[in-house]
A and B are shown apart, each in its own frame.
Chain A
Amino acid sequence: MPSLKDLKNRIASVKSTRKITKAMQMVAAAKLRRAQEAAEAARPYADKMADVVNGLAASVAGSDMAPKLLAGTGSDKTHLLVVMTAERGLCGGFNSSIVKLARIHANKLVAEGKTVKILTVGKKGREQLKRDLGAHLVAHVDLSEVKRVGYENAADVANKVFDMFDADEFDVATIFFNRFESVISQVPTATQVIPAVIPEGADANTLYDYEPSEEAILADLLPRAVTTQIFTALLENGASEQGARMSAMDNATRNAGDMIDRLTTEYNRSRQASITKELIEIISGAEAL
């Protein structure tokens, strides 16, 4: 049975933990709003970009002029997995769920005899993947200094990918991130970006005049489209991270509250017990006289 003093100390410590988790929850809520706004603001560009590229790709696909980013290298031996995670922990299953998805994917590819290379964005994913897939890690992008993810950050990641692609270091690239559904639900998602995937039912956009030519525009736009996809993924990830942290910290705050209640009951009970004990001692002492 812990002494009264021990109980008191534990209550004080849990109380200060609750204060911290409460503060983190509120910070995450504020950051989440900002992250959601950023994701929202980026949507018109991304949508338009996807529209135009899909229209163009549908009309150019199959022709010999199709750029490599669309047509692929002709093989699918080497896969690049771009795994995007957070720089910080304490956000529930956020990092683990992306890593889990990436790991399943990687193991499947390895079992099929393919070569797997992994590019990590964010410290946490790298730490988790290093344990069992360390040999596959080829590059890392550090965003720990970045307060607000901007297009330049996406361009950094994209340029790394393009450099590797130009050097024929991989055939297929897939990005892994958490799609933001709501504060309590983030969906780990894998999207293939190279070669570009044309969605079913995309119509060739024959309506438009293209200046210069369709192929030239496509060659110019495809890298931008990939960068935009990475940018969108980073933003979704940012919002998801804050959402996950918010609900994780909400849980932690509630647990701390429960714990304080329990400890307080225990404290009162043992205080009562010791008072009763003292009384009995006094009374039996008085009776003995």
Chain B
Amino acid sequence: MADMFQFDLVSPERKLASGQARAVQIPGADGDLTAMPDHAPTITTLRPGVLVVEGASGEERFVVTGGFAEISPEATTVLAERAYPAAGEEARAALQAILEDVRAKANAASGADKDAFDKTADDLAKAIEGL
């Protein structure tokens, strides 16, 4: 089918998901982006967040903690440092740990840095609620 493309989600230890997808929503470092068929070739780093895969058999959600994604017109590969299915306890724990880390950094920082950390923390808190 022309409106599908190959999607792979790999972590250093194993392949977590592989198959055809209609669209993949990626938490990029500079903001969310959605990869669709015939997307311009892009490489982006990830921020901790939720990855949404619209596959043939419905929507799948994963929590990723960082890494990068390579998007080409025919395929998208996400290389995540750590990734968990969003429904599991591990996913929530991983995000929570990062959130606390960011909050600690926000408290230590000041000025523009603090705003940036605060914003990241808010985003993360929202992501955790949305799980």
Contact = CB atoms under 8 A, between A and B. Distances in A.
B6 interface: no
Interface stretch (B11-19, B51-59, B111-119): B11-19
Contacts of B44: 210-212, 217
Given A52-B68, A211-B28, A224-B67, A150 B42 contact: no
Where chain B touches its partner, the secondary structure class is: strand
Size band of the interface chain B makes with A: 20 to 34
Contact of B42 (A44, A151, A211, A216): A211
Interface in B26-81: 28-30, 33, 40-45, 67-68, 70, 77, 79, 81
B41 to A, nearest CB: 5
Scoring B10, B15, B67, B70 by chain A CB atoms within 10 A of each residue's CB, the highest score goes to: B10
Nearest to A220: B45
Where chain A touches its partner, the secondary structure class is: helix
Size band of the interface chain A makes with B: 20 to 34
Nearest to B82: A151
Contacts of B67: 224
Nearest to B12: A151
A41 B30 contact: no
B14 A42 contact: yes
Contacts of A42: 12-14
Interface of B: 8, 10-15, 28-30, 33, 40-45, 67-68, 70, 77, 79, 81-82
